């Protein structure tokens, strides 16, 4: 398992409820891809959403996001943390 | 207090030790600006570093990063999380 930070752009005006719904949708199917979405943060003003996950590959992360209707614009492995 | 995600580019090849040292340097002075750096993640391959903080303003986050020698390239408020 590796850790990933993915980024979504163009989400201007996203609400707390929409963020929670998207996160819940991802978590409902993440197990099928061996992914676990740990946390997500959003900036409604710039329309940026960040998701932190543990997953076997970045493709697995993208498959979950794509299936729930919000593919990520960037997915970076983040092997280091402090 | 608000929550911020800041992003540093151009950190290709950053090591676990360098990330920890930078985070420790930030935390050593963060109190002077009323900031708390909660966590940081790095992708040595793309050279991207993400820092999650709580702070009074984005300028306060930047003052800490600037004083420790690594100003952020982007600082986004992230008022929403899930």
Taking only the tens place, the pLDDT of each residue in B27-44 is 999 999 999 999 999 999
The number of domains in chain A is 1
Residue A56 lies in a domain: yes
Q: Are A81 and B3 an interchain contact pair (Cβ–Cβ within 8 Å)?
A: no
Q: Decide if A82 is inside a domain.
A: no
ipTM value for the complex: 0.92
Give the domain range for residue B56.
Answer: 2-77
Splitting chain A (82 residues) into consecutive groups of 10 residues, what average pLDDT does each group show?
97 98 98 98 97 98 98 97 97
In a domain, A24, yes or no: yes
* Residue B69 · residue B82 · CB < 8 Å: no
Chain B residues near residue A23 by CB distance under 8 angstroms: 82
* pTM of the entire predicted model: 0.93
CATH value at residue A21: 3.30.70.3090
**Residues of chain A contacting residue B41, judged by C-beta atoms under 8 Å apart:** 3, 5, 52, 78, 80-81
Mean pLDDT (chain B, rounded): 97
Hey, which bits of A1-82 come out as E strands? 2-8, 36-43, 48-55, 74-77, 80-81
Among residues B70, B32, B38, B5, the alpha carbon closest in space to that of A82 is found at B38
Q: Is residue B82 part of a domain?
A: no
Residue B66 falls inside a structural domain = yes
In a domain, A44, yes or no: yes
């Amino acid at each position: 398992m590796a850790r990933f930070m993915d980024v979504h752009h163009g989400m201007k005006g996203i609400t707390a409820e929409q963020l929670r719904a998207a996160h819940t949708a991802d978590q409902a199917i993440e197990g099928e891809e061996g992914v676990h979405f740990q946390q997500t943060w959003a900036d409604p003003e710039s329309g940026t959403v960040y998701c932190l996950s543990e997953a076997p590959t970045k493709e697995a992360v993208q498959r979950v996001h794509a299936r729930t209707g919000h593919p990520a614009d960037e997915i970076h492995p983040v092997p280091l943390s402090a």
